[in-house]
Amino acid sequence: MFETPIGEGRAARGTWVDGLNPSQLEAVTSGAGPTLVVAGAGTGKTLTLACRVAYLIEQGIQPGRILLLTFTRRAAREMLERARRMTGETSMGKVWGGTFHAMANRLLRLKGRSIGVRPDFTVMDQADAADVMDLIRDDLGLGERERRFPRKDTMTAIYSRTVNTGVGLGETVKRWFPWCQDEFEEIRSIFQRYTIRKRDHNVLDYDDLLLHWCALARAPRQGKAVAGMFDHILVDEYQDTNAIQAEILRHMGKGVAGLMAVGDDAQAIYSFRAATVRNILQFPTDFPGARVVKLEQNYRSTPPILTVSNAVIALSPKRHEKNLWSEREGRRRPELLTCLDEAEQSDALCRRVLDHREEGVQLKRQAVLFRAAHHSDLLEVELTRRNIPFVKFGGLKFLESAHVKDVLALLRILENPHDEVSWFRVLQLLEGIGPTSARSLMAELGVRREKGPEPSPLRRLLDDAPDCPPAATEGLSALRAALDDCLESGSGPSRDVERFSLFLQPHFLRRYRNPRERMRDLEQLALLASAYPNRARFITELTLDPPASTCDLAGPPLLDEDYLILSTIHSAKGLEWDVVHIIHAADGMIPSDMATGSPEEIEEERRLLYVAMTRAREMLHVYFPLRYYRRPRGLEDGHGYTQLTRFLPPSIQDLFDRRAEYVADDEDVPSSTALGSASGVDEFLSALWK
């Protein structure tokens, strides 16, 4: 236990205390009870949390009784590594660190039985959930009707929002999906069946992980037991938690000595995932007697960068009082660069990146940030052409690609022979088997039957070949052989992936236009799998913590080299670089066309830009292409000129060094990207004055 308020005398043990400012010190040494730390961008939030962990351990709290909830697994690792360096403590690995979902996974496997969760459940990602929705829709015969039924992705979106906000289905549909109101009853019956089906087959989706943890924490006796595992709970990025996560904390918080939440409402960028800033605002109500500590001194950015960032967020109507200031040196103003088009943007960026490297800023210390993953497509081509190495974070579609899903489906059948979606997918790989045959095969094997009594569907398939269309007999026996091999050998997930690749090869050759690339991806997957002790772990960890970057896949050799960071703004959360380049600062990109529906959405886009800008330590470049040659993407017409993002009005533009730079005669650049014609010049200029 942790009774006495912590004496200041003891706090001086670690020398790391000297580096903290008074507010940080107050947060780090905060005594028992709930504490909210409102930490502006760059105010040393990570340092504070790491110190808090170090401090608690020095106070005699066992590492294994600390729970550190972060937004990504990477963030948890970084913080614990930092705390380890500070204390020299080697048992830091025993701290429970990770995302809410990952932690739910661990806790439910340990303690879930008491609320009726079997510990060998499998975890399903959003795409799998959507496939289940589709299966059910077809079962109900809702596919063939005059009106088009909402798509499977829409249904999972409705489902997830309903669950995570805790608002009723009727309300959710009315408010966020008004065009689906006519199908309300059908949607409801699909959701009912969806719930039952997951339970029968012992599968949990992302939302279930949170819901069941919540149920566990809420249960009077078991809740106490779970909360009793910890003395201290620390939560990072509290502004991006949703209603269920807040409820989990309310229950867990009752049973522990200390609870600390850290967040910044100005950086809330996950409302699309039902996160709500209300959690931060209501913290003092949710946890009576809470202490609130504000961190306002920024250590990251130079004053000119801070000034511009502050100006951007100051235009947010519902801003909370916070005044970031800095004692840092540095007078170089951020640059706002107007480019002719995307090609010029890429070109200008490459030159600036290389210039900075000449000045001694490694590529690794520079990042290119953008709103949507595909915004860097053209840039990636240019970087490759110029031999500038880069690594991209966020938006990685690796796990979503069909061929990877094929392998995962095979692995999942081995782990959970009642996994309908996987069977449905795998059976249809075989030539001569479509949806109908797949269904009847699954019925024959008893996939739909509740998990439990033997023989399992897998066992049945292996024991004797079921009836199938003649064209498929060969394929079916190959499938049986592959499954049998992996079931028998039990020699680790990497082997399984290799074996399944062998099985899949002919199918890839038949179905895909680029089978070789896809086979190469599977080699990567096998490599990735070799780091895991068993299949179950591999599958679960992969869904809960998918490879965050292209470099996670490329393997270690790349790590020694220098490379530029490309990242979505969302994935850049919590990170910092010496030089930050923000591309596509145009209306329609930031704010995204997809997000201009409501004022709330637009405000979130503003915060997104704010988050991007506040990642910069020394220098910030903002790029704005005037013209897009590619698809309209919602812009009025195909090649109209765009506007600079509305979040940078003239008053803020004045805080930048403005440049309109284009390349006229650079041999590196195709001539089509230069101004080209007199009318091009006119358009270019008129757009500048606009």
Partner DNA sequence: AATATCCGTATTTTT
Partner DNA sequence: TACGGATATT
Between 311 and 373, name the residue whose CB sits nearer to DNA: 373
Q: How far is 345 from 481, CA to CA, in rounded Å?
A: 53
Pick from 248, 232, 297, 284: nearest CA to 36: 284
Q: Is the dihedral of CA 353, 354, 357, 362 positive or negative?
A: positive
Taking the complex as a whole, how short is the minimal distance between the CB of residue 98 and DNA, in angstroms? 8
The residue among 206 and 662 lying less far from DNA, judged by its C-beta, is 206
Whose Cβ is closer to DNA: residue 298's or residue 614's? 614
Comparing CB distances to DNA, the nearer of 27 and 67 is: 67
Q: Which is nearer to DNA, 263 or 394 (CB)?
A: 394
CB 73 → DNA: shortest distance, Å?
Answer: 8
Question: How far, CA to CA in Å, does 122 sit from each of 130, 151, 262, 523, 650?
Answer: 16, 25, 31, 24, 53
Minimum CB separation of residue 510 from DNA in Å reads: 8
Would you say 148 or 690 has its CB closer to DNA?
A: 148
Give 293 or 590: the residue with its C-beta nearer to DNA: 590
Whole-angstrom Cα distance, residue 461 to residue 226?
40
CB neighbours of 321 closer than 8 A, spacing ≥ 6? none
* Of 25 and 130, CB closest to DNA: 130
Query: Which of residues 151 and 224 has its CB atom nearest to DNA in the complex?
Result: 151
- Shortest Å distance, C-beta 323 to DNA: 28
* Alpha-carbon span 206 to 189, nearest angstrom: 20
Least spacing, CB of residue 534 vs DNA, in Å: 21
- Of the candidates 403, 446, 443, the one whose C-alpha atom is nearest the C-alpha of residue 426 is 403
Phi, psi (5° rounding) for residue 235?
A: -125, 125
CB 571 within 8 A of CB 375: no
Distance (Å, whole) CA 159 – CA 553: 32
What HEC string does 78-137 produce? HHHHHHHHHHCCCHHHHCEEECHHHHHHHHHHHHHHHHCCCCCCEEECHHHHHHHHHHHH
* Cα–Cα distance, 588 to 569 (Å, whole number): 15
Query: What are 448's two structure tokens?
Result: 């739909």
Asked if the bond preceding 591 is cis, omega within 30° of 0, the reply is: yes
Nearer to DNA, 155 or 306 (CB): 155
Q: What is the DSSP string of 39-55?
A: E-TTSSHHHHHHHHHHH
d(CA 417, CA 458): 6
What token pair was written down for 252? 């867990």
Q: How far is the CB of 673 from DNA (least distance, A)?
A: 19
Which residues bind to DNA, rule: CB under 7 A? 71-72, 99-102, 125-126, 134, 143, 148, 151-153, 206, 269, 272-273, 371-374, 394-395, 428, 431-438, 469, 471, 544-546, 548, 568, 570-571, 592, 594-595, 631-634
Whole-number minimum distance, CB 252 to DNA, in Å?
17
CB of 153 to DNA, least distance (A): 7
Q: Which is nearer to DNA, 291 or 646 (CB)?
A: 646
Q: Which is nearer to DNA, 64 or 432 (CB)?
A: 432
Integer Cα distance of 74 and 91 in angstroms: 18
Nearest approach, Cβ of residue 246 and DNA (Å): 15
Closest by alpha carbon to 282, among 313, 234, 245?
Answer: 245
We find the least distance from the C-beta atom of residue 417 to DNA, in angstroms, to be 21
Contact present, 114 and 219 (Cβ < 8 Å): yes
DSSP secondary structure string for all residues of 247-267: HHHHHHHHTSSEEEEEE-GGG
Least distance (Å) between residue 225 CB and DNA: 24
Cα–Cα dist 569/269, whole Å: 9
Task: For the CB of residue 475, give the shortest distance to DNA in the complex, in Å.
Answer: 9
Residue 167 CB burial class (10 angstroms; 0-12, 13-18, ≥19): middle
420 three-class SS: helix
Q: How far is the CB of 21 from DNA (least distance, A)?
A: 31
Which lies closer to DNA via its Cβ, residue 101 or residue 499?
101
Helix axes 435-445, 420-429, angle to 10 degrees: 130
CB of 640 to DNA, least distance (A): 14
Cβ closer to DNA: 201 or 584?
A: 584
